[in-house]
Amino acid sequence: MKSRLLFLGPPGAGKGTQAKLLCENQGLIHLSTGDLLRAEVNAQSPLGKEAALIMNKGELVSDEIVLSIVQKRLSADAKSGWLLDGFPRNLIQAQSLQQLLENVSQPIQAVLLIELDDETLIKRLLSRGRSDDTQEVIRHRLEVYREKTAPLVDFYQSLGILVKIQGEGDVKDVALTIRSALGLVM
Ligand code: AP5
Ligand code: MG
Question: What secondary structure does DSSP assign to 34-61, as a single string?
Answer: HHHHHHHHHTT-HHHHHHHHHHTTTPPP
Proximal ligand: closest to the CA of 33: 1
Residue 18 is predicted with a pLDDT of 98
Class for domain 4-181, per CATH?
Answer: alpha beta
Q: Is 124 annotated as a binding residue?
A: no
Give pLDDT, residue 77.
Answer: 65
Q: How far is the CA of 77 from the centre of ligand 1 (A)?
A: 22
Q: Which residues of the chain have pLDDT under 50?
A: none
Query: Could you tell me the pTM of the whole model?
Result: 0.97
pLDDT score for 80? 78
Indicate if ligand 1 lies below 6 Å from the C-beta of 28.
no
Which residue type occupies 1?
Answer: M
Gap from CA of 18 to ligand 2 centroid (Å) = 9
CB of 54 closer than 6 angstroms to any ligand 1 atom = yes
Q: How far is CA 164 from CA 50, 113, 135, 167, in A?
A: 34, 5, 27, 10
Report domain extents, the chain: 4-181
User: Which ligand 1 atom is nearest residue 167's CA?
Assistant: 53
Per-residue confidence (pLDDT) for residue 111, from 0 to 100 = 98
